[in-house]
Structure 1
């Protein structure tokens, strides 16, 4: 068994399943009329003997390439890699492959990659980036293939997936209030980021305006400097810090340690992103908000597949809920005194 080069052919699937070649083909391609038991039996036997359909032949029959392009300007991969993992998980069972094109912020390079994707006859394109309120530097609005946006700004009447930053921030601050914290400061990134403003708004709604919002940059050094600013002020110090990302939170934890302030006994700290390489290595390990980027990618993948297959999909922005990951940086007073 194995035909030329050891590849299992549909003739061998038909023989093993004791059906005609026509029946085997229809069963494997979900076409034609036959009993569900026969269809499932043919598929099961095909899997058991290691049959893999010929991608070129399948594409010619269906007029599809069974590939999806992923376009991103997040060359560091902080947001794109988990999104891509979710897309791949969603599409692998459908026989669809994903290939990544990094465009930085170069319009000419972006257009080259888009043209290459179209030349390869991709079934669709997923555009993703490094912030929610910026579009990629290339126009994807009038392509002849479906385009879905994930963690980047989409065009009018597009399908766009994004994390719910307001809900995520609310989860974090409500948790701090629940464990007894009352003087909660917010250290975050640049105010011109849409996500920063959404999180700050949710923070104020839950915590009020007793403590300030400190806007800065997305770095550990800013978290360190912000703690220095807060602790130089006269009067009571914060008993909790809600940080705009995990790097800021890690810098803040380091600055507190240098001042002899114990985390979480004296001050609870929560980050945002659940960047494992930072959150898990912080001492103590960091409580943080997970934006569920892998799930976001999974939903984007299934949506571009639906559009490629001609199924109707309502345009608009879909916000996916965040999840709070509780680790040791966020203990209650009752449990630590």
Structure 2
């Protein structure tokens, strides 16, 4: 680095400039700027040296100047109706993982399904000149509370189904349900009951259809709320009906499964000795703390967010991204509720 580097280091506390970087690297200001912004025809060796020196002397590029140069703000917005973050937080972690190494940040905006709040968030994001927007929801078939179809920037949908012209990333609910049912069947269970959430949810219908395809003539689905209370109530109804007890219960969510297990215990039945139970979500705070710990389907939400983030990166760079729905595979997390140690 020579004399340029030492003269910079002798001035502690001063904000470093592109001029300092150029002097320390022994290049012109234009070359230093091109190297840091990935523009021009700077060779790889010079680009690496300039970036290393910039890091060593503590140079931070001016975000406004960079955005004017590249015509990008290097930020995106995430709009969600998931107020409590159960689904959005792991997806946002995946989005950030895809963006962070490219100098792109994300603004997370929760709408609580309020159209007015959603519009305010959207206008704020557009005022910040974000490069794109990712929309996520708590159900696949939720219509966004604000119109995202006419924006001048790209929109990607994650855990929400967008228009045919937009990239959409969702978990493969049917494949996840098949994982659960096949796991039970492979362990010798035949009479398998499905207790799940509301039938007007697309995810509930997809999982139920996949379950029916594998369970055959003995298939029975009990639709209800996505709650522990419904799990309790469903088991109470089952016991009081006098029908043959199922050997296993496949639940549409971990919350339902927790209610099912508690209710089975209340009726003197042990899990998994009397009835095996599988959940859906792999919500750690529920699944790992259930007694016994719950075998469940993981929707791989972080990977889903990462894929949405990568798609957004390509779109903001003008690269082609296939529109339409991409279904990402789920995985099965085995714990003791099916008899595994």
- TM-score under structure 1 normalisation? 0.93
Deviates most, 17-26 or 83-92? 17-26
Other-structure match for 1:160:
168
Other-structure match for 2:89:
81
Shift of 1:224: 1.0
Deviation readout 1:152-175 (Å, 9 max, x if unpaired):
131241111111100000111111
Shift of 1:241: 0.8
Other-structure match for 2:28:
20
Task: State which of 139, 160, 183 in structure 2 corresponds to 1:131.
Answer: 139
Shift of 1:238: 0.9
What is the SS of the residue equivalent to 2:102?
Answer: coil
Residue correspondences, number: 333
What is the SS of the residue equivalent to 2:217?
Answer: coil
Deviates most, 187-196 or 15-24? 15-24
Deviates most, 231-240 or 51-60? 231-240
Shift of 1:265: 2.1
Other-structure match for 2:127:
119
- Residues 80, 88 of structure 2: 8 Å contact kept: yes
Deviation readout 1:37-57 (Å, 9 max, x if unpaired):
232233233334433222111
Shift of 1:315: 1.0
What is the SS of the residue equivalent to 1:65?
Answer: coil
- CA RMSD for the aligned pairs? 1.8
Distance 1:9 1:288 in 2: 53
Other-structure match for 2:191:
183
Q: How does 1:250-289 map to 2 (within 5 A)?
A: 250-289=258-297
Distance 2:185 2:40 in 1: 60
Deviation readout 1:68-87 (Å, 9 max, x if unpaired):
01111111221111111111
Task: State which of 18, 38, 55 in structure 2 corresponds to 1:10.
Answer: 18
Distance 1:163 1:204 in 2: 19
Residues 47, 266 of structure 1: alpha-carbon distance in 2 compared, 3 angstrom cutoff:
farther
Distance 1:124 1:139 in 2: 14
Distance 1:210 1:297 in 2: 37
Whether 1:32 aligns to 2:14 is: no
Q: Which consecutive residues of structure 2, in runs of 5 or more, have no partner in the other structure?
A: 1-7
Task: State which of 231, 242, 252 in structure 1 corresponds to 2:239.
Answer: 231
Q: Which consecutive residues of structure 1, in runs of 5 or more, have no partner in the other structure?
A: none
Whether 1:296 aligns to 2:304 is: yes
What is the SS of the residue equivalent to 2:134?
Answer: strand
Shift of 1:148: 0.8
Distance 1:41 1:281 in 2: 51
Residues 30, 182 of structure 1: alpha-carbon distance in 2 compared, 3 angstrom cutoff:
same
Other-structure match for 1:245:
253
What is the SS of the residue equivalent to 1:168?
Answer: helix
Whether 1:329 aligns to 2:319 is: no
Task: State which of 154, 166, 171 in structure 2 corresponds to 1:146.
Answer: 154
